[in-house]
Structure 1
Amino acid sequence: MLKMMTYFQGFSGHQSVPVTVDFPRSPPKLPSTSEAESETSMSEASSEDLVPPLEAGAALYREEEKAAKKKEKKKSKGLASVFSVFTKGKKKKGQPSSAEPEGAAGSRQGLDGPLPTVEELKAALERGRLEAARPLLALERELAAAAAGGASAEELVRRQSKVEALYELLRDQVLGVLRRPLEAAPERLRQALAVVAEQEREDRQAAAAAGPGTSALATTRPRRWLQLWRCGVAEAAEERMGGRPAEGAEVPESVFLHMGRTMKEDLEAVVERLKPLFPAEFGVVAAYAESYHQHFAAHVAATAQFELCERDTYMLLVWVQNLYPNDILNSPKLAGELQGVGLGSLLPPKQIRLLEATFLSNEAANVKELMTRALELEAQRWAQDMPPQRLDGHCHSELAIDIIQIISQAQVKAESITLDLGSQIRQVLLVELLAFLRSYQHDFNEFLERGKKLRSYRANVIANINNCLSFRTSMEQNWQVPQDTLSLLLGPLAELKSHGFSTLLQSLCEDLKPLFKRFSHTRWAVPMETLEKIIATVGVRLPEFSELQDCFREELVEAVHLHLVKEYIIQLSKRRLVLKTAEQQQQLAGHILANADAIQHFCTEHGSHATWLQPALPTLAEIIRLQDPSAIKIEVATYATSYPDFSKGHLSAILAIKGNLSNSDVKSIRSILDVSTGVQEPSRPLFSLIKVG
């Protein structure tokens, strides 16, 4: 009756399709140093505009590479010799590579051959030649040396503006590659990463060498390109995660599903394709994971601020407590990589507890409403005299199945968030289930009183008794609760079943009542003939109960068994039969034994397992047969052990049959019950059902 929502199909056990992280199409605007000053100075040195195109990429690089081949022969030998140092990562003997350790570049005073001109570096960078980073760094160091050598302030400012304009061009080229790393060729990506790493080393060296003093040079270090890269990663994550999942699909679960899939698939691509290329100092997996996590957490926090409906409260908890930590962070491909990142939860613990409390309250109200509605529909069927279904030859009602499903689905729903929340809702559901069972018992009792004239009355009574089996089985097998709690839940069902049995047996008991009275009227002259009529009457009526579940049919036969024994004892206790001689008493005892055997055989044959009733009549027969008061005392003491509710009043009624006992003997025999009275309560009542005068 409750339908569970699946918000994240495909995370667990799905066949993943290789995904390319689709980074945004344009890089963010990057900060520059002294932009206005740089542009002014560069315009003085050259008529060419040194501000690079923001979208210079791999395609442009390849096209310009072809055109550059014709011109390179005309270039200065200095530029050619400089670029030869970086070609394909090769190095001449004694020359450091692009991945030199920190300080190695600074230890070398210059590059082989003269440095290229500003125009040459600009042209190389515009063609995407990241190899120009090293001579640009050398140019920057020459500038620092000129400042230390006493060059004029005007000259220093002019030269620095040219260097900074080239660095802006290099920065945009490098970060452009890193912003779309999966679109770049691996070798070009390595070059861009090497440039950033080199700039980071230069930042550290500049910070270590900084000291007091003044210079006309503007402060340009640290450039913090690694930090700029991380900012770009954050913007890329925001753009990827913020995309619409589908045309018009803006419901919260669709948005969360889109973000979850995007994060999982993008991080898997980072682990598989980027991590092998990125130096460890970049922490590429952590950088992307933290950026995606921060965006996801911000969206969840914003959603949680609204007044949430029940569906959205559940959806938030499923994502925060289950899908995100289990299906994303701890997925097979990401668990090991994210173990040390420490992303944490999408929501703070306090807010999670509030959402869980709201969820439990919502579920309790829903469960109560659904169970109440199910009971109302069942009661309407009773009132409208609708016969129950027949299933496997038994009267069947869907009520128990509906209630069990309502409870079970609420339990599963909570466990789909966390097992701990499943444990919490169990207590809530037990309270609601107990309240329902009491309402069920009350409504059923009203039906028993008001519906006696309905044609389907007995069939509906049987169907609701059969319901008790489904309830009991479900509680015992699926609900691991303490025995006292289980007894509390089963109490209303036991009362419902007992009242139902009484209703079903009422007409049979009325038919048997005049037959039992014959024992007194005939002064027990022909007890076997009377008992045979009683048993025959019961045998004719037993098929009426065949539509009960087998276990309940056996219980009902046990109730018949108890009724036969009880009514037989009642007739013996009427004090209308007084036998003066031992022979008469022995004859009566023989009749009682024969009747007891007939009753036991008949009831056992029809499914009664009430073995506890077996000694009830034979022992009374033995008390009647015995003549020695001491022997009678022993028999009475044993009998009181088997039937703790056997009282002095019951004993006196039986002893009244023995007309040859003196008052002192009767008093002495009765005293034996003083020892055992109140020792224990009967687990099954017999004599407490028998009133004696």
Structure 2
Amino acid sequence: MLKMMTFFQGLPGQQPVPGTLDFPGSPQKLPSTSEVDSEASMSEASSEDLVPPLGRDEEETTKKKKPKVLANMFSVFTKGRKKKGQPSSSEPESKTESQPVLEDRLPTVEELKADLERGQLEAAQPLLALERELQAVAAAGSAAEEELVWRQSKVEALYVLLRDQVLGLLRRPLEAPPERLRQALAVLAEQEREDQCAVTAAPRPSALVATRPRHWLQLWRRNVAQVAEERLGQPPAAHASGHSEAERIFLHMGRTMKEDLEAVVERLKPLFPAEFGVVAAYAQSYHEHFAAQLMAMAQFQLCERDNYMLLVWVQNLYPNDIINSPKLADELKEVSLGSLLPPNQIRLLEATFLSNEVNSVQELMARALELESQRWAQDVAPQRLDGHCHSELAIDIIQIISQSQAKAESITLDLGVHIKHMLLTELAAFLRSYHRAFDEFLERCRQLRNYRANVIANINNCLSFRISMEQRWQAPQDLLGPLSELKSHGFDNLLQNLFRDLKPLFKKFTQTRWAAPEQTLEEIITTVGVRLPEFSELYDCFREELMELVHLHLVKEYIVRLSKRRLVLKSAEQQQQLAGHILANANLIQRFCTQNGSPGTWLHQALPTLAEIIRLQDPSAIKIEVATYATCYPDFSKGHLSAILAIKGNLSNSEVKSIRNILDINTGVHTPVKSLFSLIKVG
């Protein structure tokens, strides 16, 4: 099966991606709700406009109506007002640190603004206190509405500064010092709690604009989604040779997501509050962008290679090598990210993959057979391997089939099972084509010098096909039919000349009226022995099969000569003498064939039993022998029996008929697996 880490580590020229979230660029303007957008306009007010000018009468009236709490609140806003002769707060100060805050007062807006601009997140607490005090004044109803709105605008402007500082740090969390990151997280957590309180609190009439919930946690999650888009959207390495553009994109996104999430788990999770779900936030954002990219790609007409790679990533590499990788599996178990593509899209891609694979297998196998046929026709000698004629055709075909199934299994095991049935159908069609091409070669190319060597090479091919199909593919036996026929035709061709040379020798048995059967058979055995080295380049198993065919031929032709009805022996002595010759010949045939590797033990009783039938004189004993013989050779018919009984000239017609009738008894034996007498025609 394909493994993602192989791609991760094996791309030449691919720059390593650091195991950190290397968030590019400076913090961008943060997306916000409509309330936060209004805050941005509030922040444009200068420090000199913190308090609006009031008329003397209006100011005195306000002072008379102010309660003590309102006076304290107003003092916060007016502490930093520019007075005549005093330097503006916008002028550089000699001190870089803010003035210590006295316990009996909150810092002024200008002081908070200066602190926030210097990135001092400690200002978050007094700012929150300032907000609460303003709300208390508004709730008391003791301040003019215009003043409350104006004061609130200043508070909200400060919150914009604080928000930008906090979310800016959280946008690039691995670049921030741990202590600063903890401060930002504490502020965000506090603001989230304040939002929750505002949501659950009963609404009260107020002149203030409702500014909570501020949704900073949502803004942070939105930032995480932007980071995921930026990280995964970076262009992949341009020098990853051997990979298509789509493959480089898959590789870049997969490796980036895996390494970034590992960094989140190892470095950010210990710092973030558990309720933030930092791992889930990053994982979901990366997953959604990854899925969107793949879905967009799946809408195009993909080439065969990219269609396959898309399925491998969706069905195998992404779930197994990223989501369930050792460092991420436990962390992402509860996130339930799901698949990168919906089921219907996956089914379409799989259907395309199967169609592509079947077409590719058809083309590759047809091309392999065409090249092999050309070598036969061009009289190219086959290779010799360990003393045997060898062809690469079987190896090529098995490799084509195996690679196709392996590709399907690299997507899912179920897809591998599905394609197996399709590939077996294609293999069966190929074997039929192979058989036809081989038969054409047998007929048309007999005069070529390497003809017999190529016939042997193709017979040897059957072994590789058979082993692979039976052991690896568990192919049904009927699928092996073309191979059996190809092998049989090859054997017939190889033995054709030998059997033609043996024919006149077998005729001598009847021509000499069995006068010297031992000498005739020895001549036959010598002729066979001389020709056997021609078959030495067959694999051992096929050489044994071929020797069994020779064994069968010798026994069959011997019985054919006995069945010619040209020899009639009336005396028991003559019959016993012929039976002795037959038995001696049977032993010679059996010994010769066995020594040369014939496994045809089923032929051992064929001639000795016929000899016994000829020797016996008692009809009842002959019947027993015939009945036994018929169980060994179910294709032994009445015609064959009549031809043998014709040798026994001392049997009456009624005795012959009675012996023949023994074959009418149903012994329960069906058609034999191997044929002997069905190959023998009797007149």
Q: Does TM, normalized by the shorter one, top 0.5? A: yes
Matched, 1:358 2:355: no
The letter for the 2-side match of 1:233 is V
Matched, 1:647 2:637: yes
Shift of 1:361: 0.9
Deviation digits for residues 373-396 of structure 1 (CA, Å, limit 9, x no counterpart): 110111111111111111111111
2:166 maps to 174
User: Whole-Å Cα distance in 1 between the matches of residues 343 and 483 of structure 2?
Assistant: 41
User: Whole-Å Cα distance in 2 between the matches of residues 35 and 339 of structure 1?
Assistant: 40
Q: Show the 5 A alignment for 1:225-624.
A: 225-247=216-238, 251-481=245-475, 485=476, 487-624=477-614
2:201 maps to 209
2:113 maps to 122
Gaps of 5+ in 2: 52-91
1:99 maps to none
Matched, 1:9 2:44: no
2:144 maps to 152
User: Whole-Å Cα distance in 2 between the matches of residues 71 and 531 of structure 1?
Assistant: 122
The letter for the 2-side match of 1:277 is L
Query: Residues 601, 507 of structure 1: CA spacing in aligned structure 2 closer, same or farther, 3 A cutoff?
Result: same
Deviation digits for residues 336-366 of structure 1 (CA, Å, limit 9, x no counterpart): 1000100000011111111111111111110
Between 291-300 and 489-498, the greater mean CA deviation after superposition: 489-498
User: Whole-Å Cα distance in 1 between the matches of residues 249 and 434 of structure 2?
Assistant: 43
Gaps of 5+ in 1: 48-66, 82-111
TM-score using structure 2 length: 0.90
Query: Residues 665, 217 of structure 1: CA spacing in aligned structure 2 closer, same or farther, 3 A cutoff?
Result: same
TM-score using structure 1 length: 0.88
Shift of 1:478: 1.2
Deviation digits for residues 595-625 of structure 1 (CA, Å, limit 9, x no counterpart): 0000000000001111000000000000111
User: Whole-Å Cα distance in 2 between the matches of residues 37 and 435 of structure 1?
Assistant: 76
CA RMSD of aligned residues (A): 2.1
User: Whole-Å Cα distance in 2 between the matches of residues 505 and 488 of structure 1?
Assistant: 26
Query: Residues 629, 68 of structure 1: CA spacing in aligned structure 2 closer, same or farther, 3 A cutoff?
Result: farther
Shift of 1:474: 1.1
Asked whether the 8 Å contact 2:43–2:160 carries over to 1, the reply is no
SS at match of 2:537: coil
Query: Residues 248, 394 of structure 1: CA spacing in aligned structure 2 closer, same or farther, 3 A cutoff?
Result: closer
User: Whole-Å Cα distance in 2 between the matches of residues 664 and 303 of structure 1?
Assistant: 90
Matched, 1:134 2:114: no
User: Whole-Å Cα distance in 2 between the matches of residues 423 and 68 of structure 1?
Assistant: 78
Query: Residues 343, 413 of structure 1: CA spacing in aligned structure 2 closer, same or farther, 3 A cutoff?
Result: same
Matched, 1:636 2:626: yes
Deviation digits for residues 34-66 of structure 1 (CA, Å, limit 9, x no counterpart): 24762466566349xxxxxxxxxxxxxxxxxxx
Asked whether the 8 Å contact 2:631–2:667 carries over to 1, the reply is no
Shift of 1:10: 4.9
User: Whole-Å Cα distance in 1 between the matches of residues 677 and 127 of structure 2?
Assistant: 110
User: Whole-Å Cα distance in 2 between the matches of residues 29 and 452 of structure 1?
Assistant: 85
2:676 maps to 686
1:38 maps to 42
User: Whole-Å Cα distance in 2 between the matches of residues 369 and 18 of structure 1?
Assistant: 44
Asked whether the 8 Å contact 1:178–1:189 carries over to 2, the reply is yes
User: Whole-Å Cα distance in 1 between the matches of residues 199 and 556 of structure 2?
Assistant: 104
Query: Residues 41, 7 of structure 1: CA spacing in aligned structure 2 closer, same or farther, 3 A cutoff?
Result: closer
2:60 maps to none
Shift of 1:207: 1.2
Deviation digits for residues 202-238 of structure 1 (CA, Å, limit 9, x no counterpart): 011111113253x221110000110000000000000
Deviation digits for residues 500-527 of structure 1 (CA, Å, limit 9, x no counterpart): 0000000000100000000001110100
1:28 maps to 28
User: Whole-Å Cα distance in 1 between the matches of residues 138 and 279 of structure 2?
Assistant: 41
1:103 maps to none
1:108 maps to none
Aligned identity (percent) is 75
SS at match of 1:34: helix
Shift of 1:25: 1.6
**Count of residues paired in the alignment:** 632
2:19 maps to 19
The letter for the 2-side match of 1:38 is M
The letter for the 1-side match of 2:267 is R
Asked whether the 8 Å contact 1:42–1:161 carries over to 2, the reply is no
User: Whole-Å Cα distance in 2 between the matches of residues 350 and 521 of structure 1?
Assistant: 81
Shift of 1:27: 2.7
Query: Residues 238, 149 of structure 1: CA spacing in aligned structure 2 closer, same or farther, 3 A cutoff?
Result: same
